Structures are given as C-alpha cells and as structure tokens.
Structure 1
C-alpha cells in the first residue's frame, strides 16, 4: 500500500515574533514494514538555518531558525510511503512468551536488545509507574496466557471502558485523572497504556504517526480530515516490537503510518522550540491529509 501524507502546521501570533529556534518531528522514518519513498519540508518564513538529522531513537528531525519578524509560522510537510503487508501479527499472536518469562529475561539482560528495552520500563517525563496503574491492568494477565494475549485483553479493556472525548483532557492531564474519569484522546490512551504495562514490568514505547481514515460509503473524503495519531508497542525478546492501538482496539497493519517513537509524547512532539516576543497568545492550526496513491 502506498500513501501520500501532507501535514500542515500553522501558528499565528498576536504580535511579531522577533526570532525562533525549532525542532520538528514531522519527517517520516523507515520501519520493519514501512519505507519512505520521498519527502519534502517547507518552512515559511524562509529559515536562515535549516538542517535534518536523527535523534537518540533514530527518528528523523528537522532543525530550523528564523531571524526575521513574523506573525505567522507555517511548516508544510509532504511525504510518500510504502507499507508492506506481512504475517507479522499472526507470528506475534503465536509467540509463546509469558509475562513471567519476560520479567525473568529482563532481570538478567544478556543482549543489547534486552538492555535497550529496559529503558522503556522506567519512568519518563509524562508517564510514571504506580500501583493503581498496575492494578488496573493486572487482571488482564494470568499464568496460562501468553504476553500477547494479555496485552490484547488490556487493549480491549481500555477500548471498552474509556470514552473518546477531545474536550476532557489536555497534553498535561495526569494519568491518574485520565484513569479516574475514563475519557480522553488517543494520546491519553497511549500514555495510560504505557503507565499500566510498564508498572507490570513490560517494556512499552510511545508510537506517533498517522492513521488513514475512510469516509462513509458514497461520500467523498474531506481534505485535512485525518489527524495525527498515537498508539503503543511492547517488546518481545528475540522477536521485536509489537504495536497495539487502544483507541481502535486493533493491532496496526497497513493503515498506521509511523513518524516517530520514544518514551512518551515529550520525546516526539511534532514541533518544539523557543520564540522571542510574539505577544501573549498564539493560535495553532493543524491539517493532516492521508491519501492512497
């Protein structure tokens, strides 16, 4: 399956910004079944400096600085992807490892992959392990279940017990509040999953990217109607990272496009940086369009 993704981000300020320095996680990355065919990023006003690189996790980054006064900032990214459909999910579902076996391997990590995976059991800036989070997920796992079966049961539990409500949270809403009110958006469900599964000792990382949405039968797809999406992945030793989408209760295949992954949202924020002046407020507008090509 081939896709074209356009991600347009615009900021408008109440007063001119004198200068700004930014880092963007908006460029695509290659994965086991995903390949970027082409991409371009256009920043306006034109930066005095712009360069691309990779962060600690191998995500593609773009650094730029603008040193002319401006009241509007625009970052327009167009990327082309090819995603191969494989039997990876079927292989993952057949994997026999249990939670107990995973924890035993992590207790004495004797490979580079195990040592790297342990980083995703630790607390991160926006996700902290706790007993209430562990208790919420504990009943999804048992001695006679495989790890994948347990994580699928947990994903289904989040899907059925939580309500999607864009007005109930912000990027700073604590996990304890999300757990109590049982509502939020995909980022909240991903962070909640990270907190619960890490609290049980399961290496879990935050996935950021896009999800193709299809219009109802007989209706045209609206330009810009798609959105950035978040889900999570767990580590299976000697197998790899397996992805889960609790917002939709599915294991991602060829409709999830990965942009970046990290410990939590703070590692893969689409745009972060520093501005000088710009007034006391700003307006953010984001448009995402995912098309099959």
Structure 2
C-alpha cells in the first residue's frame, strides 16, 4: 500500500468544498422527524415494534386497511398455531377497526391467542379491553368466560367464578359459559351446583370428551360411581374417535391410505377441546 502523492514528494491532503453550508437545522437531514415525535416516557425500552407501530399510524390511513380481512389473517394464524403472529394481527385489527363490534372481536381473539401462549396477564388485559368497549354485546359473554379462564390460570380464583357467572347472566344459552362455571364450582367443592351447570351445557349442545370427563369427576364427588364410570367410558370412546379422525386426516394430507383398522400413533395425545372460545 502506498501513499497518494501530489506533484512533489509530500502526500496531498483531500480538499473539500467550501460552499455556504447548510441552514441549522437542515430539514432534509433532521434526526427528529415529526413521524417520530413521541413522548419517550411512554415508550417501553424493550418494545421492538415501537418504531414500526408509530410509522404505521403515520403512513397508513385507516381507509387503506380492511380490518375484517386483517382479522381473518389472525384467525388463519391461529389455525396453524402461529400464536405470536396472531396476537400482532389482532392488535392491528383493533387499531384500524372503525366498528366497535369488530374491534371487540379482535380483542377477544387476541386474548385467546395469548392464552394459547400461556401469557395469562396479557390474555386478561385483552379480554378487559374487549369488555371496556361493550359489556352487553354479542361478544361480551365470550369475553367474560375467556377472562374467567385466564384469571383462574393466573391464580385469581375468586374473580374467575365471578366472571364465569357474569357470562351466564349476559347469555343464559351460552354453553361454554355453563361449562366453565361448572368447572369453577367443582374446584370449590360445590359439586351439586356444578352438576346442574354441566348438564345445562350438555343440553345446549356442548357434548365432547372434555365435558363428559368433567361430568364424570363431578359424579364421583357426589358418590354416583356407576353413572360416573359409564360417562367416563363414553368420554374415552369419544376421545379415541377424535384421535383416530386426526390421524386419518394427517395421513390423507400426506397421501397415505386411511382406515379404521390402523393403529393410532403411539405416545401422542391430542386434545381437540378448549376451555375458551374464538370469536
């Protein structure tokens, strides 16, 4: 490597333009553009999305976003178990939604996605956001029962029962609400009331392996062992059938032959039921 030399033996320094310079401040190189003119005290320092979210609100007009389609994106993410992406899609849906019902639906589903990730605090917050919009709407009962479940997992058992009861008050034909109430009552030793609730859920059409297993446990608490055993056997048959259908669907997707005489994959349990509800 050699030094650049001029006409003589001494190295020649670079020379820069000696123009008039820039105004102060020079807008084209402003380090604080108005798009990012926000209060730093309101920004979580570990929030990696703060710049993206701020620019979204500045650069994307609400009229340019179809919030209902964005909601569908979130639901599709839920179907393939991409729950983190789902929470982001639902949050953006809520931000861009012009209709309160759609915004509320987005918050409810965001709460479900957080529950799938076992992020109970975030799930509770999302369901409370939904209820703050309208605590009497078509989505309110779902928000209440999902909130009850998240509170239970978070250790707030007393509040959980209150919200489960609230869900039934809003919609007395809400089968999932009756089931959750039955579960919370059973956990508190109130088996007789729990049995009435779970029978209501079954009469309203909620009959699956998880519901029947819960009813069998309640019957055992009441000393109804014969009926409990019968219900437990029915629940086991339903669960085995559900697992068989899942295996057949998987083989069909992989192009393999299906049939009821094939054994289920060993060492794998599948629970198709949930205690919360997507909207």
Q: TM-score range by the shorter chain?
A: under 0.3
* The structure with more strand, counted as a fraction of residues: 1
Greater helix content:
2
TM-score by length of 1: 0.22
- Structure with max Cα Rg: 2
